Amino acid sequence: MGAPYFMHSRSFYRNSPDVDLAFLQASFDNVPYDHYFTQGQRFRTTSRVEITGHGFRLLPKRPLYQPPSVNKLEKYGGICRDYEDAPVSLIESAPFQKLIMEWISRTGVQAKSFSVHQIRTTGTGSPVPEGRHHDGTDWTGLYVVKRHGIDPESACTTYWDREEEVVMRDILGEGELITFEDSKYTHDTTALVPVRDGAYRDVFVLTLPEHGVNVPDELIGE
Ligand SMILES: [Fe+2]
C-alpha cells in the first residue's frame, strides 16, 4: 500500500513521515467537542501557528470561516466557528514540528505560518460530512493519526484530479500523510464502520495559508 501513489505529480504526495506517532496520538486525549456539528459526535481543535527561528508558537485565535461554496453543510459552512486551540504541548513538540516541516517541504512554499485542525470522527460518522470537496486552501495536508475500533475497509479516501480521474482511492493507515495542492483535486472519505464501542478516527488537517486569512473582515470586526 502506498508505493503507486508516492508521487503522482508535483502536486500530490503520499508518504509516511518518520515521527513519533504515539506522541501525536496522545495529543487527541482531550480534544474538545465540536458544538457546531449536529450530524453525530465530532471533536475538534483549530489553530493558527507561526513558524519562527526558534520553533513554533500559537498565533492569536481567529474563527474558522469556510464559505458556503466550500462547505455546504447548513450552519457549518458560511459562518464563523470558534474552536479551542490545539495543546501547546503538541504545537511546541519536536514530533509535531518534524511532521509539519516535512509536509511544508513537499509544498515548496516558504511558509511562515500554517493552520492545524485536530479532528476526531466517532461512531458511524463521516470524516467528510460535506461530501466531495475542495478545501479552499493553497495546500492541504491530511495526516491519519489513529484508527481505533473501525473496520479496516472503512474510512476510504479518494482524490480526483481536474479530469475527474481517480488519483488515489485507498485506506490511509496510521502515520500516512497526503500532501496536495487543493485547487487541483477534490477529495472525499467514506464513513467509519465501527467494530466495537468507542470507535474513532483521528486526523490532522494542515493548511497553507493559515485559515485566518479567509475570514471576511466584516465577520471578525477588523
Ligand atoms: Fe477537505
pLDDT of residue 1: 43
Confidence of residue 7 (pLDDT cuts 50, 70, 90): low
How remote is the CA of residue 29 from the centroid of ligand 1, in Å?
A: 23
Q: Which residue range forms the structural domain that includes residue 176? A: 3-212
pLDDT of residue 214: 78
How remote is the CA of residue 205 from the centroid of ligand 1, in Å?
A: 8
User: Could you tell me the CATH number of the domain that includes residue 135?
Assistant: 2.60.120.620
> pLDDT of 28-62, one tens digit each?
999 999 999 988 899 999 999 999 999 999 999 99
Q: How many CB atoms lie under 10 A from the CB of residue 191?
A: 19
How remote is the CA of residue 130 from the centroid of ligand 1, in Å?
A: 9
Which of 134, 133, 91, 136 minimizes the C-alpha distance to 116?
91
Does a structural domain hold residue 12? yes
How remote is the CA of residue 19 from the centroid of ligand 1, in Å?
A: 23
> pLDDT of 115-171, one tens digit each?
999 999 999 999 998 899 999 999 999 999 999 999 999 999 999 999 999 999 999
How remote is the CA of residue 81 from the centroid of ligand 1, in Å?
A: 16
Confidence of residue 217 (pLDDT cuts 50, 70, 90): low
Distance CA 77, CA 93 (A): 31
Average pLDDT, the chain: 92
pLDDT of residue 4: 45
Distance CA 74, CA 77 (A): 6
Does a structural domain hold residue 109? yes
> pLDDT of 59-117, one tens digit each?
999 999 888 888 888 778 888 999 999 999 999 999 999 999 999 999 999 999 999 99
How remote is the CA of residue 187 from the centroid of ligand 1, in Å?
A: 6
Does a structural domain hold residue 222? no
How remote is the CA of residue 211 from the centroid of ligand 1, in Å?
A: 13
How remote is the CA of residue 220 from the centroid of ligand 1, in Å?
A: 23
Look up the pTM and report it.
Answer: 0.93
Q: Which three cell numbers stand for residue 120?
A: 476526531
Print burial letters for 21-52: b (CB count within 10 Å at least 16), e (below 16).
Answer: beebeebbeebeebebbeeeebbbbbbbbbbe
How remote is the CA of residue 116 from the centroid of ligand 1, in Å?
A: 12
pLDDT of residue 218: 67
Does a structural domain hold residue 221? no
Distance CA 52, CA 208 (A): 16
How remote is the CA of residue 209 from the centroid of ligand 1, in Å?
A: 14
CA 108 to chain centre: 19
Which of 174, 175, 117 minimizes the C-alpha distance to 148?
174
How remote is the CA of residue 54 from the centroid of ligand 1, in Å?
A: 30
How remote is the CA of residue 47 from the centroid of ligand 1, in Å?
A: 16
HEC profile of the chain: CCHHHCEEECCEEEECCCCCHHHHHHCCCCCCECCCCCCCCEEEEEEEEEEECCEEEECCCCCEECCCCCCCCCCECECEECCCCCCHHHHCCHHHHHHHHHHHHHHCCCCCEEEEEEEEEECCCCCCCCCCECCCCCEEEEEEEEEECECCCCCEEEEECCCCCEEEEEECCCCCEEEEEHHHCEEEECCCCECCCCCEEEEEEEEECCHHHHCCHHHHCC
How remote is the CA of residue 57 from the centroid of ligand 1, in Å?
A: 24
User: Domains in the chain: how many in total?
Assistant: 1
Q: Does residue 8 carry a pLDDT above 80?
A: no
Q: Does residue 186 carry a pLDDT above 90?
A: yes
How remote is the CA of residue 178 from the centroid of ligand 1, in Å?
A: 11
